[in-house]
A and B are shown apart, each in its own frame.
Chain A
Amino acid sequence: MFDFIWNLASFVIALGILVTVHEYGHFWVARKNGVKVERFSVGFGKALWRKTGQDGTEYVVAMIPLGGYVKMLDERVDEVSEHDKDKTFNRKSVYQRIAIIAAGPFANFAFAILAFYLMFLIGVPSIKPIVGDIIPESIAAQAQLPNKVEIVEVAGKKTRDWQDVNLALIGEIGAESIVIKTKNADSQYVSSHQLSTENWQFSPEKVSALTSLGVIPYRPQVYNELARIGKDSPAEKGGLKVGDKLIALNDEYLSEGWTDFSKKIKDYPDEAVNITVEREGSNHVLKVMPKGIDSNGELIGYLGVSPKADDWPAEYKINISYGVFSALTESIDRTWSLITLSFDMIGKLITGDVSVKNLSGPIAIAQGAGDSAGYGFVYFLGFLALISINLGIINLLPLPVLDGGHLLYYLIELLTGKPVPENVQEAGFKFGALALLALMSIALFNDFSRVLG
């Protein structure tokens, strides 16, 4: 329940900011061009708060936070007095109209740059992309990619952390080969490996691009020794203590590490098990009853313990922060690469290289908002930037109803010298609304399936 409220609150805040930014873009440029703005609304539907400014614009915060609008004076919709005729949107030149419409998405891009800028100034704690292991006979293994090396470049793009690596890899989906450059921790010598990716296929919702290539990131060693025990947890009630070493579960020996145990314990929801532990040199058998909890619609056993693990070695950690100027170029770079990546993805969605299963809707965004806000401010900034860019791009899609659709009409007007006929526009709007509805339905369906497991 707390998760739900947290996600919802983060979602509303995130979307509220982004919608305001987008609409403010339209608003600002419209006013600069002398268009009278009648209403500036963040949110749709019933007004929760309203105030009329001295400029005659009504500012509204409305109930449904999934969007907003700027209502400009327009002769096609409103009765306009002779005095106000030159303040209408429809009387402005086609260039001015293009500027006003394009301002929304561009405000989103500008906001993304600002958010990234702040993020880079503050600095993002991250982990260097050091290869832990290579899966035998994988694409990476065939290219003889060694382990325990740091990945410094993928397909010509510098990579400082795993996110860089993943982003670069995703951008290469469909390429015939990918060049990965690596270097040893203690030397400056960089070696280059060519991965042949002709037959590279994977479903992004199940595995990451990395694992599908056969690269397993380095992780610190985890031991089957208890480091923390939750208060009032089933483990505490069963008498488990910090420092206990797990030996067997129902007389079945557990393998080293943690994965074996954590996997097996899930099979015993609300079912007593005998856990053999090594404590102060001798073995004890304890009867513990894992609590049955719901995990994605499945009942699993839960003990409430976490294992002892090595810390990340200091030399593997990196705080990616930048100076005042380099942060600016870096944030523009990041924004630009995300914009091109998104367009790339849309292209692949149309050609069928990427399945519609990968579309995400509001629920996924809400979860992302909640998670990133939970990790800390810099992560929330990064998330805001990402969604801002997406919002800008979706609005630029040449679907009538969206900004991109209007822009398309104005571009046609620019080329032919006369406006697109009203009835064609009208038909286009209906088709656009339908196409958008279909896309949103698929995205929403994907969200539901993901949440339900």
Chain B
Amino acid sequence: MLKQRIITALILAPAAILAIFYLPLFYFAALLMIVIGIGAWEWGPLMGFKRKTKRISFVATTLVLIGAIWVLLSPSDLWLNSKELHSYAVALLWIAVAWWVFSAFLMFSYPNSSTFWSKHRSVRGMFGWLTLVPTWVAFMVIRTNDYQADAYHGAQLLMFLFLMVWSADVGAYFVGKAIGKNKLMPNVSPGKTFEGFLGGVVSACLLVAITAYNLNWSSEQFVTVLLVTVLITTVSVLGDLNESMFKRQAGVKDSGSILPGHGGVLDRIDSLTATAPVFALCYVLFGW
């Protein structure tokens, strides 16, 4: 299982990196839309949709939503200048952040709070859209930052986010396996331990420290980024747990099976769905 997981990761990670750096903006946006579309497909069973037509309808609506945002808020107009983001995009990011705060509340009160949303499919669908659609916006916001001046600046930012999430994942996995004892949220996900969570945070911070050292960051920059890193890694666990919670409620184990050893696309992007909007908003608010 671990071997398969590593092999898939070794193929997937470089593919993701290539896409981030070398795909032209249009194709990047389209690819992202497809990935999120697959995520929406996998969200279907979490809402209790068994019929294909219902799942396709959910995917189609998700794609129309993203398509509408794409048309109305063209990626090239997202940033009015290098520091000022289009107010609609800011609003969308805030909505996403508000949703994740709310979702954290749902998790802490799980399973008591689930009586409300487990009964209403439309509410779960809404949750799905809140999880998936802003992710696309956040990715585009990060990718197009300062695009006019430097086409790779946004790619680097995105890469940084990926590395943070990945190192947190890897750190959490191994530290949790080695010394994990105290369960983080047994009601939602029995596999996650508090030690693993700390391991993830520490390993991401290490990564930031190495980057800061190599890029000669000022101490002020370093502290800002370190704080953001702690926030992002925490939020990344939130994204993970959020999906676990919906899977648990729906009685689903893996959300899909396209990625050997990793389950579905949703399992892979769950941390990113939470971190990308938070990261984008942090960058808009604090910069560095």
Contact = CB atoms under 8 A, between A and B. Distances in A.
Contacts, number: 36
Q: Closest 7 interchain pairs by CB?
A: A448-B57, A452-B53, A449-B57, A445-B61, A448-B60, A444-B61, A356-B122
B58 A445 contact: yes
Given A45-B71, A442-B125, A449 B53 contact: yes
A434 B95 contact: yes
A438 B126 contact: yes
A259 interface: no
B102 to A, nearest CB: 13
Contacts of A376: none
Nearest to B61: A445
B7 interface: no
Nearest to A297: B53
Interface string A419-431: 0000000000010
A430 B89 CA distance: 12
A337 interface: no
What size tier do the contact residues of chain A reach? Answer: 10 to 19
A132 B65 CA distance: 46
A438 B126 CA distance: 7
Nearest to A447: B57
Contacts of B71: 45, 64
A319 to B, nearest CB: 40
A364 B95 CA distance: 29
Given A441-B65, A445-B125, 17 more contacts: A45-B71, A297-B53, A430-B91, A434-B95, A441-B61, A441-B126, A444-B60, A444-B61, A444-B64, A445-B57, A446-B57, A448-B57, A448-B60, A449-B54, A452-B53, A452-B57, A453-B53
Given A297-B53, A434-B95, A448 B126 contact: no
Interface of B: 53-54, 56-58, 60-61, 64-65, 71, 91, 95, 122, 125-126, 129
B28 to A, nearest CB: 23
A448 B61 contact: yes
A297 B54 CA distance: 12
Nearest to B49: A449
13 contacts: A430-B91, A437-B65, A441-B65, A441-B126, A441-B129, A442-B122, A442-B125, A444-B61, A445-B57, A446-B57, A448-B57, A449-B54, A452-B57
Nearest to A361: B61
A324 B282 CA distance: 67
Contacts of A434: 95
A204 to B, nearest CB: 16
Contacts of A430: 91
Contacts of B129: 438, 441
Contacts of B56: 448, 452
Nearest to A66: B68
B209 to A, nearest CB: 39
Contacts of B95: 434
Nearest to B57: A448
A448 B60 CA distance: 7
Nearest to A448: B57
Contacts of B57: 445-446, 448-449, 452
A355 to B, nearest CB: 9
- For A64, A441, A452, which residue has the most chain B Cβ atoms within 10 angstroms? A441
Nearest to B91: A430
B37 to A, nearest CB: 13
Nearest to A434: B95
Contacts of A446: 57
Nearest to A356: B122
Nearest to B122: A356
